[in-house]
Amino acid sequence: MKNYHEDKPYLSHSLKSLDQDLVWNKDRKQELERKISKDIDKHISKSQIRKRFHVWVPSIITVTLCIGGLFFILNNLLSEKDQATPNVETKTELEEPILDTIESNSKINKNTRELLKKNKNEINIPLDLHNGLSDVIRGEPSIRVNELNDGLGLTATYPIAYGTLFVSQSTKYPNLAKEYNEQDLINEMISVHGDENITVTELNGFTTILVEQSSDMNMIRIYTNYNIYTLSADYLDFDELLEIAKLIKFDNGT
């Protein structure tokens, strides 16, 4: 039996050349290449964050528990020996990492450095995420700090794969819980961002509002009794922002 297309050379030739006779707009092809490249980068960035958290967070928890355990044992031993001098040395040791971070950051000026040192005990947001999440966060943060009437305004802006990760802490509203109820805070956010872009949840027992600012940018805001924490980033989803938020040293609300 003869092959069908051998009987129809014109049809066969026409079909063969159809591919060349269709012309895809060159600009659109290049634009799609850029989009694919960008979306692959986003995918890489997200999977690196997830991987990092899977490795890094349990390690931190383990180390923290070990240090906590040692501290507890040491404290008990010391208090048995001399109850009058229990904590002084240990407290200094705990303050050192934040001082090291402040000293080593090359992006901050002398005044900011002095302000940070002065307020080191008030700093709750992590200033060294670039050390633990170096695959995702592309360098040390720029830091802005303001002394407010009742506390501190602090912002760390980290470079990430696409854009920036913004982490801030504000004690602008002292005793927040007493002045506002949860619904007031939610209503305030709804009035700014619209009901459809707001989700209310909890982190460490504190009211947390998830705000979809645009298709590429999400923000979360956490209200504790003395602080407001805000995290926002380009191309990070809420789960990733919440994982970073868990690294905040939350005030205990007392």
Point out which residues bind another protein (CB under 8 A): 4-5, 7-12, 14-19, 21-25, 28-29, 32-33, 35-37, 39-41, 43-44, 47-48
C-alpha–C-alpha distance, residues 220 and 230, integer Å = 6
Count Cβ atoms below 10 Å from residue 145 Cβ, excluding itself: 21
Q: How far is the CB of 130 from another protein (least distance, A)?
A: 19
Largest CA distance in the chain: 105
C-alpha–C-alpha distance, residues 48 and 138, integer Å = 12
Q: How far is the CB of 5 from another protein (least distance, A)?
A: 7
Q: How far is the CB of 17 from another protein (least distance, A)?
A: 8
In terms of CB distance, is 38 or 118 closer to another protein? 38
Name the residue among 161, 198, 166, 164 with its Cα closest to residue 182. 198
In terms of CB distance, is 123 or 133 closer to another protein? 133
Token pair listed for 26: 């060159």
Name the residue among 244, 26, 60 with its Cα closest to residue 141. 244
In terms of CB distance, is 19 or 196 closer to another protein? 19
Count Cβ atoms below 10 Å from residue 55 Cβ, excluding itself: 11
Q: How far is the CB of 37 from another protein (least distance, A)?
A: 6
Token pair listed for 98: 């934040």
Q: How far is the CB of 39 from another protein (least distance, A)?
A: 6
Q: How far is the CB of 143 from another protein (least distance, A)?
A: 30
In terms of CB distance, is 12 or 142 closer to another protein? 12
In terms of CB distance, is 51 or 91 closer to another protein? 51
Going from the C-alpha of 46 to that of each of 108, 161, 163, 167, 237, the distances in angstroms are: 28, 10, 14, 18, 8
Q: Is 132 in contact with 97 (CB distance < 8 Å)?
A: no
